[in-house]
Structure 1
Amino acid sequence: MRIALLSYSTKPRGGVVHTLYLAEALAAAGADVTVWSLARGGDEGFFRPVDPRVRLSLVPFPDRPGEGVGARILRFIAVLRDAFDGSRYDVVHAQDCISANAAGRCIRTVHHLDRFTTPELAACHERAIVRPYAHVCVSTAVAGELLAGWGLKATVIPNGVDAARFAAAAADGAAVGRWRRRLGRYVLTVGGIEPRKGSLDLLEAYARLGTAELRLVVAGGETLFDYRGYRTAWDERAAELGVEPVVLGTVDDAQLPSLVAGAEVFAFPSAKEGFGLAPLEALAAGVPLVVSDLPVFHEIFGDAATYATGPTALAEALRTADRTRAELGRKVAGSYTWSAAAQAHLDLYARLG
């Protein structure tokens, strides 16, 4: 079976992480898999090495200084559409709204649903929901939104997690120690500073902790969008509160597991999510998890997480986090595997013919 998985980026965002792990698991199961992606800004590969059994087809996408979001979205779609020939594949599976617009007839994974104000992006989002002939969602929560909003029934296939990798990082005292010597004791969040990630709420919660012994560390943040205004507001509020978070930006993939494993607590106070891969990685490393009180998080993490919404509740949850549920967290993380996700995809592809 020849399968094309399409993504819009080579950068370490959740949907891209999903695409690569799924491609590798499909290839391990014997499928002929090609990952197509735009290679932005001169990128020559993905943010991490990819199993050589997976074919890669990267489409150059040079930057244009001063290009607005709407124009860039349209150019994303046009460049990928011009390069991609779906007739070469038995299955064409788009992983985001941009690639779904470019792919033609395709299956679409809806990781989460958004509301956009940029007209071109709003139209891209809508077309990528209504045009595909089949849909996958990574949680029943998102599938419910798709059914309620568009009357579309999706197949639910959860993400996997490389639990062994993060568990091994927790046992690597040298690597964990390097982060702790650099950062001290820290609360970690992964995903950058943006509205959907609840970054301002987390900042306010951190200020309420009232301890200089625990630092707030923010990793990740590669995004398609321009959140400079939100980041400026976040920086200004940090100054008003008298706190100095550590913003690492994108962390090398090889170093990320030990960074996660070294945290005292992992915070993920998102306003909206479709799954929560980064928190599962924290659970695999035995790190206490505090997340916002969203239905999707209850679905994925169950009793392994502490739920809190709003700065006051978040602060209390971070203050009282402990490792008594570490074993339960590892068990939950271990229940989500990429091999199971790949087999569920292969079963779906077979049913769709």
Structure 2
Amino acid sequence: MTSSVRIAIDGREAVSHGAGKGRYIREIIRELSKLDHDNDYVIYSKQPLELELGANFESVIIGGTAGLRQLWLARDAQRRGCKVLFSPTGYLTTVFSRIPVVQAVHDLAIFTTPEARPALKTLISERFLLGYACNKARRITAVSQSTKNDLERLFGVPGSKISVDYLGYDHKPYHSQPAEGDEAVLKQHNLEKGQYLFYVGTIEPRKNLARAITAYQALPSKMKQRFPFIVAGGLGWHYEAIVEAAANERQVRLVGRVADAELPALYRNCRAFIFPSLYEGFGLPPLEAMACGAAVLSSNVSSLPEVIGDGGLLVEPTDITAISSAISRLLTDDTLVSSLGKKAAEQAVNFDWAKTANGVRQLLLEAAG
């Protein structure tokens, strides 16, 4: 009988709600609790997690300042007899760790895309620590083949050390069938089913919204009046030019952050989902849109072709004419929209958080030896 392995997880970001790394680690912990009853887990977080976890999961609350928290976590994991550490959202814990580490890497945007500039703390951390952490880690989980390729190309990390574990989505709310409450969400936002374009994500240069808005502006006035462009998401860095571009087109509506509970209805009922990003480590919003049966327009770069497959239209993200032409096709060709919606839903079922968590679990057990 195989003996139990004690596993430490840096869950400091698991208390963050919404998308991104916070959602990633919350879903990994949730799914590990469902599928693994043989090993013991120590979850480190800044405050109690709002997750139902099994009896083999121990929660440890850590305080202190950034940097010192990671040092304390790394040392405490060793003191508690943990044989391996999962570092899902940062790199400093990996640097400090004295036990084997499985490092998650989400993207390398700051190394590949000039338009990607995170907060100064994150920028410094990734610039100086990412390469060292990846070379020190026993194993690496990358969220896409594109990210794996970037790690090999930029840092010389052996491909044999990197596993690709795609992200997933919650299959209960994100589906293509009409749901109770859809009409209320549309009414709240003054929208009609199939009569709007939709984007959700951070408002920042990397998402390429300025070009998307310019492409939309080139459409005939009657088309824009019928299909407003709804842009949802919080303001990121250097958002000013995007907001200015939106202000110059009355049919572009910046609606700010949208509650997670409203997203499935907005995805499900849009004419098309527009996501022409310049770079993504994975691309969770288009996956969620596809799961809801939305026709997707996205970019032919980085990880997006992996995620979208033939479930959407892919264009060169710097080609405004190509973006505009693709939007026009989606607004005028009902057969195309219906076909893409069906293909999108079929493609989306290939992604599941349980698969992600199981892949991470296998890496942790391999790293623990």
TM range (shorter): 0.7 to 0.9
Structure 2: gaps of 5 or more residues: 112-116, 331-336
Give the gaps of 5 or more residues in structure 1. Answer: 62-74
Provide TM-score, normalisation by structure 2: 0.78
Provide, for residues 127-178 of structure 1, a one-character-per-residue CA deviation record: whole Å limited to 9, x for no partner: 433332321111111111111111212111111222342116x421x42212
Distance 1:24 1:176 in 2: 27
Residue by residue, what CA displacement relative to the aligned partner does 1:3-35 show, whole Å, maximum 9, x if unpaired?
A: 333255313232221211121111111244454
Q: What is the aligned partner in structure 2 of residue 70 from structure 1?
A: none
Aligned pairs, number: 325
Which residue of structure 1 aligns with residue 346 of structure 2?
331
What SS is found at the alignment partner of 1:136? strand
Pair 1:114 & 2:109 matched:
yes
Which residue does the alignment assign to 2:358?
343
SS in 2 for 1:235: helix
| Contact 1:161 1:334 survives alignment (8 Å) | no
The 1-side partners of 2:228 and 2:59 are apart by 39
Contact 1:25 1:342 in 2 (8 A): yes
| 1:167 aligned counterpart, secondary structure | coil
Alignment partners' CA distance in 1, 2:267 and 2:7: 33
How far residue 279 of structure 1 moved from its aligned partner, in angstroms, is 1.0
**Which residue among 9, 23, 26 is the counterpart of 1:20?**
26
CA drift of 1:295 comes to 4.5
**Pairing 1:86-235 to 2, within 5 Å after superposition:** 86-87=77-78, 88=80, 89-98=82-91, 100=93, 104=97, 105=99, 106-115=101-110, 118=120, 120-121=124-125, 122-152=127-157, 153=159, 154-167=162-175, 170-172=177-179, 174-181=180-187, 182-184=189-191, 185-210=195-220, 211-221=224-234, 227=237, 230-235=238-243
Q: Residues of 2 paired with 1:327 and 1:313: CA distance?
A: 23
Shift of 1:350: 2.3
User: What pairs with 1:7-86 in structure 2 (closer than 5 Å)?
Assistant: 7=11, 9=13, 10-31=16-37, 32-38=40-46, 49-53=50-54, 57=60, 59=62, 76-82=66-72, 85-86=76-77
CA-atom RMSD in angstroms: 2.7
> Which aligned pairs between 1:230-249 and structure 2 lie closer than 5 A?
230-239=238-247, 241-243=248-250, 245-249=252-256
Write the distance in 2 (CA, Å) between the matches of 1:112 and 1:11: 20
Q: Hey, what's the Cα distance between the residues in 1 that align with 2:95 and 2:365?
A: 23
> 1: CA distance between counterparts of 2:171 and 2:36?
22
Does residue 258 of the first structure (1) align with residue 265 of the second (2)?
A: yes
Shift in Å, 1:102: 6.8
Aligned residues with identical type, % of pairs: 23
CA distance, structure 2, for counterparts of residue 76 and residue 33 of structure 1: 23
Letter in 2 for 1:317: A
Q: Does the residue aligned with 1:146 lie in a helix, a strand or coil?
A: helix
Taking the aligned partners of 1:216 and 1:8, their CA distance within structure 2 comes to 36
Query: Residues 80 and 259 from structure 1, CA distance in 2 versus in 1: closer, same or farther, beyond 3 angstroms?
Result: farther
Query: How far apart, CA to CA, are the structure 2 residues paired with 1:189 and 1:300?
Result: 17
Deviation string for 1:228-262 (max 9, x for gaps)? xx2122222223x3335333333322222222222
CA distance in 1, matches of 2:273, 2:43: 31
- Tell me which structure has the larger Cα radius of gyration: 2
Q: Tell me how far 1:77 sits from its aligned partner.
A: 2.9
In structure 2, do the counterparts of structure 1 residues 164 and 91 end up closer, same or farther at CA, with 3 Å as the change threshold? Answer: same
Identify the range of structure 1 (277-286 vs 77-86) with the bigger mean alpha-carbon deviation.
77-86
Secondary structure of the corresponding residue to residue 339 of structure 2: coil
CA distance in 2, matches of 1:289, 1:183: 22
Instruction: Report the residue type matching 1:30 in the other structure.
Output: D
Deviation at 1:314, TM superposition (A): 1.7
Q: 2:267 & 2:43 partners in 1: Cα distance? A: 28
Could you tell me how far apart the structure 1 residues matched to 2:61 and 2:329 are?
Answer: 46
Please say which of residues 281-290 and 17-26 is displaced more in the overlay: 17-26
TM-score normalised over the length of structure 1: 0.81
> Secondary structure at the residue paired with 1:255?
helix
Contact preservation (8 Å) 1:8, 1:99 = no
Q: 1 CA distance for matches of 2:173 and 2:104?
A: 25
Alpha-carbon distance change, 21 to 294 in structure 1, aligned in 2, over 3 angstroms: same
Return the alpha-carbon distance in structure 2 between the equivalents of residues 58 and 81 of structure 1.
Answer: 14
* Deviating more after overlay: 281-290 vs 177-186: 177-186
